[in-house]
Structure 1
Amino acid sequence: MIDHSFANGLFFCMNSDQLRIILLGALTLFLFPLLGFLLYWLIEGEYISILTIFKSEFNFGIQLLIGSLYGLGAGVVAWELIRSKFMNPVLEKYGQVVKSLNLSWVVIVFLSFSAGVGEEFFFRGVLQDYLGIVITAIIFVLIHGYLNPFDKIIFVYGLMMTVIIIGVGFIDKYIGLTSAMVAHMVIDVILFYKLSNTDLLQDPFFIKQDADFSENNQ
């Protein structure tokens, strides 16, 4: 049965300025698995057995639970770092960008699902088996632009994200790829939601910054 509220919301977004964001999400959802199939075929000489990447000793419910709990914890930690005093420029920059997109909950869930499934299929499901957990995590964070040696604030955030993604890698290895996908999705939902709904002008940190600035200029 089709969830008409979700479908109608997505249809509305597809006819708005958010069309490009939806298309990017769809590209992530389909392109990365395609790259995974291609890489697996080039290395293994066939692609049928690639479905074994979903093999796990744990059922779907357990994988869902563990992935959700890890994603929730990691997402909260990442958000608390983003909104810390040290990360002020990052929050202000990316917060304004995300808020300007005016993402609905439908789009947030879709983008998070696309990244969680698409990227994890390629990076944890395929690439990690050949490069290992740590190297794959570093490559993943590098591609996202967070390990920038010329920006110490972004670099610190990148180091934290590398640790979080290494954790996702261990979840894939010991719990299952589905659990890793869920963890990734939950992290993205939290960060997208927080960035979309945080009023920077009302955030306690920025209020204090404005007050300090006013006092220093009196």
Structure 2
Amino acid sequence: MSKQSEIVATMTDQELKLNVYLSQMIMLMLAIVLAFFVFPSWDEFSALFELELGLMIGVGGGVAIAIVVVDLILDRMLPKSWLDDGGINERVFKNLSLVELTLLCFVIAVAEELLFRAVLQTAFGLIIASTIFALIHFRYLKKPVLFINVWIVSFLLGVLFHWTGNIGVTIVAHFLIDFLLGLTIRQRYKRKQS
């Protein structure tokens, strides 16, 4: 973990953002390759993508807003050291334009939901997929509150996917969580600078 923070410290914000995009592209490619082994047919995989806007916005959006509200409450109530990710999220989100923020959050939501919900949860179940999702956020392993929070969010997204059978719902929820929290980070940084 200290090696990771040393590496991150030597990177520019632009290089850090590029690495986020690269990791998401790897996850997306992995999801596509693994989908061929998990789903017996393309039709079964594509059935996860029903365009039900009411469900996607109403349920996905509602779950996202609830998660963001809880996150913001935790941020106010808990010691900052418990929630410190080493400044990585701030470095990634602080200078993004709204278009860049939207694009980055969309890419993250699609790649991670396809891999962790559509493929891994379908293949191995909710608990294993949620645990793997939390473990890829390995910078949180020494931060129990952050790790548990990420695991719970992943679990809730998994429950949402299990309940709806629609990956679009979890993509919308994941996008909104990242977008709203990224927007919060961006606004806090701008306030600190003024």
3-state SS of paired residue (1:54): coil
Q: 1:53 to 1:38 in 2, by over 3 A?
A: same
Alignment map for 1:110-129 (pairs within 5 Å): 110-129=103-122
CA shift, 1:33, in A, is: 3.1
In structure 2, give the amino acid aligned to 1:132.
G
Judge conservation of contact 2:28–2:114 (CA < 8 Å) in 1. Answer: yes
Q: Is 1:172 the equivalent of 2:161? A: yes
Q: Which entry has the higher C-alpha Rg, 1 or 2? A: 1
Partners of 1:23 and 1:96 lie apart in 2 by: 13
Q: 1:19 to 1:109 in 2, by over 3 A?
A: farther
CA shift, 1:130, in A, is: 1.3
Pick aligned residue for 1:183 from 173, 183, 187: 173
CA-atom RMSD, angstroms? Answer: 3.0
In structure 2, give the amino acid aligned to 1:21.
K
Partners of 2:69 and 2:138 lie apart in 1 by: 21
Aligned identity (percent) is: 22
- Scaled by the length of structure 1, what TM-score is found? 0.69
Partners of 2:93 and 2:113 lie apart in 1 by: 27
Q: 1:137 to 1:99 in 2, by over 3 A?
A: closer
Figure out how many residues of one structure are paired with residues of the other and give that number.
179
Spell out, residue by residue over 1:92-117, the C-alpha distance to the aligned partner (whole angstroms, 9 max, x if none).
Answer: 84278437851221111111111111
Pick aligned residue for 1:32 from 27, 31, 48: 27
Q: 1:64 to 1:88 in 2, by over 3 A?
A: same
| Uncovered stretches (5+) of structure 2, i.e. residues with no partner | 1-12
3-state SS of paired residue (1:35): helix
- Scaled by the length of structure 2, what TM-score is found? 0.76
